Amino acid sequence: LLLLLDFNPFDNLLCILLGISFTVWFTLLLVFIIVPAIFGVSFGIRRLYMKTLLKIFEWATHRIERGAKDNNHLLYKPYSNAIIAKEPTSLEEEINEIRRRGSNRDLDSASEFEMSDIFYFCRRGVESIMDDEVTKRFSAEELESWNLLTRSNYNFQHISLRLTVLWGLGVVIRYGFLLPLRVTLAFTGVGLLVVLTSIIGFLPNGRMKNFLSEQVHLMCYRICVRALTAIITYHDSENKPKNGGICVANHTSPIDVIILASDGCYAMVGQIHGGLMGVIQKSMVKACPHIWFERSEVKDRHLVAKRLSDHVEDTTKLPILIFPEGTCINNTSVMMFKKGSFEIGSTVYPVAIKYDPRFGDAFWNSSQFGMVNYLLRMMSSWAIVCSVWYLPPMTREEGEDAVQFASRVKAAIARQGGLVDLLW
Is the residue at 394 inside a domain?
yes
Which regions of the chain are under pLDDT 70?
1-11, 25, 28-32, 67-91, 97-113, 130-146, 150-160, 295, 298-300
pLDDT tens for 181-236 read 889 888 888 888 889 988 998 888 888 888 888 888 888 898 888 888 888 999 99
Is the residue at 54 inside a domain?
no
Is the residue at 384 inside a domain?
yes
How many domains is the chain built from?
A: 1
Can you tell me the distance from the alpha carbon of 78 to that of 65, in angstroms, rounded to the nearest whole number? 13
**pLDDT score for 79:** 43
Is the residue at 66 inside a domain?
no
- Residues whose CB falls within 8 Å of the CB of residue 134, separated by 6 or more in sequence, listed in order: 335, 422, 424
**pLDDT score for 416:** 92
Is the residue at 96 inside a domain?
no
pTM, two decimals, is 0.78
**pLDDT score for 424:** 75
Beta carbons within 10 angstroms of residue 69's beta carbon: 10
**pLDDT score for 86:** 58
**pLDDT score for 80:** 45
Is the residue at 344 inside a domain?
yes
Is the residue at 37 inside a domain?
no
Beta carbons within 10 angstroms of residue 13's beta carbon: 10
Is the residue at 33 inside a domain?
no
**Own/partner long-range contacts of 199-206 (Cβ < 8 Å, ≥24 apart):** 200/286, 200/287, 201/283, 201/286, 201/287
By C-alpha distance, which of 19, 135, 27 is closest to 81?
135
Structural domain for 250, as ranges? 165-421
